[in-house]
Homo-oligomer: A and B are copies of this chain.
Amino acid sequence: MSLNSKKRKLDRSAQDNVYFESYSDVTIHEEMIADKVRTNSYRLGILKNYKAIKGKVVLDVGAGTCVLSIFCVHAGAKKVYAVEASAIAEQAKEIVKLNKMEDKITIIKGMLETAELPENVDVIVSEWMGYALLHESMLNSVLFARDKWLKPGGCILPSVAELYIAPINDPVVEDRLNFWSTVKDQYGVDMTCMYDFARKCIMMTGEIAVNSVTMEDVLSHPAKFAELDLHTVTTEQLESVKGSFNCECFGSSSVNALCIWFSVTFPGEDRPLVLCTSPFKQETHWKQSILYLDEAVEVTQDTKVAGEISMSPSVKNPRHLCVHLDYSIGKHTNKSKTFSMGDGYPDPE
């Protein structure tokens, strides 16, 4: 091993440490469990699939506080292996004990990739979705678990993930840019020249923002640009998740960003259960991910907003997300922009 590749390996594990440490604080678990859309969807998605779970062996990937493992026991699981790399595993042990499920749930503290299970499993359950679905790249661990531990014909919950995109007008950013022209009236100081600087700091950094988009600010029907079947998708395919979109604006407005979100689906005999993080649905802690254009573009009814989007793990840190966008808005054709999402999303409130 060359010094260089050794260094890269050390860096990688340091990145993993930063990632897992972020899950050792109470705030993130409180936020996830307090997210009723998320937790109730998983609860119902698991209970709905009781036929697949009852009397069976389950693997919970990234179990956190073990809440999904406990739902699986509620659904009749014979045994659940709960793998969790962060220090929250200690609290999970107490929770399992308090709920008198020590005989059913075995907590394995460590990374999924190195965990040793005593047997193969019938079901994998995992809440692996990051901001914009793929931030944190945790899906790789689920696929690793599937390929190593899932019995043939086994079940993955949820089983499908979909990605959506739509043009939006973010009024907060508009207001922030226009703020500088209000300073003269307020204090007698002309600061209109700050507009361009503000636009550079707010819209041109290429950082993906995580924030709540109001449905009124969505300017067209959303376009689905990617679908991942968790039973078949490969780690190689996750290196670049891409798709195209073609939207037509509802009416006159100003597009200053594209917004992306995701849904995941639990299979169901009658009908599947969908956990959807769309701006048209009840808010979740994932909110939406916002890709600001360098400048706003005026649109009218039927103006086309079309293009291609590709999402990849960042080269520097595979848990970070890189998004490349090629797009046209009406007559503004052949534009492109690259975005990234690092640690620490979203801004806590």
Q: Which residues of A contact B (CB under 8 A)?
A: 25-27, 29-30, 33-34, 36, 39-40, 43, 65, 67, 70-71, 74, 91, 94-95, 98-99, 176, 179-180, 183, 186-194, 197-198, 200-202, 347-349
Query: In the complex the two chains form, is A26's CB within 8 Å of B194's CB?
Result: yes
* With contact pairs A30-B176, A183-B33, A201-B25 given, residues A192 and B98 touching in the complex (Cβ less than 8 Å): yes
Instruction: For the complex, give the distance between the alpha carbons of A347 and B348 in Å.
Output: 6
Instruction: For the complex, give the distance between the alpha carbons of A71 and B200 in Å.
Output: 27
Interface of A is mostly: helix
Which one of B26, B95, B187, B197 contacts A91 once the chains associate, using CB atoms below 8 Å?
B197
Q: A26-B194, A43-B187, A99-B189 are in contact. List 12 more A-B contacts (CB 8 A).
A: A25-B201, A26-B198, A26-B200, A27-B201, A30-B176, A30-B180, A30-B198, A33-B191, A39-B186, A65-B194, A347-B349, A349-B349
Query: In the complex the two chains form, is B194's CB within 8 Å of A91's CB?
Result: yes
Shortest Cβ gap from A212 to chain B (Å)? 12
CB neighbours (8 Å) of A180 from chain B are 30
* With contact pairs A347-B348, A349-B349 given, residues A194 and B95 touching in the complex (Cβ less than 8 Å): yes
Of chain B, the residue at the smallest CB distance from A182 is B34
Instruction: For the complex, give the distance between the alpha carbons of A345 and B20 in Å.
Output: 23
Of chain B, the residue at the smallest CB distance from A183 is B33
Shortest Cβ gap from A243 to chain B (Å)? 32
Q: How many copies does the complex hold?
A: 2
CB neighbours (8 Å) of A40 from chain B are 187
Shortest Cβ gap from A76 to chain B (Å)? 14
Which one of B30, B39, B67 contacts A179 once the chains associate, using CB atoms below 8 Å?
B30
Which one of B74, B193, B202 contacts A26 once the chains associate, using CB atoms below 8 Å?
B202
Query: In the complex the two chains form, is A26's CB within 8 Å of B191's CB?
Result: no
Which one of B91, B176, B179, B186 contacts A193 once the chains associate, using CB atoms below 8 Å?
B91
Shortest Cβ gap from A91 to chain B (Å)? 5
CB neighbours (8 Å) of A201 from chain B are 25-27
Query: In the complex the two chains form, is A190's CB within 8 Å of B347's CB?
Result: no
CB neighbours (8 Å) of A29 from chain B are 194
Instruction: For the complex, give the distance between the alpha carbons of A2 and B195 in Å.
Output: 48
Query: In the complex the two chains form, is B187's CB within 8 Å of A39's CB?
Result: yes
Instruction: For the complex, give the distance between the alpha carbons of A155 and B230 in Å.
Output: 70
* With contact pairs A26-B201, A27-B201, A34-B179 given, residues A193 and B98 touching in the complex (Cβ less than 8 Å): yes
State the 8 A-B residue pairs at the shortest beta-carbon distance, nearest first.
Answer: A26-B201, A26-B198, A94-B193, A347-B348, A70-B189, A98-B190, A98-B193, A25-B201
CB neighbours (8 Å) of A183 from chain B are 33
Instruction: For the complex, give the distance between the alpha carbons of A250 and B201 in Å.
Output: 47
Shortest Cβ gap from A125 to chain B (Å)? 15
CB neighbours (8 Å) of A191 from chain B are 33, 65, 67, 95, 98
Instruction: For the complex, give the distance between the alpha carbons of A307 and B99 in Å.
Output: 43
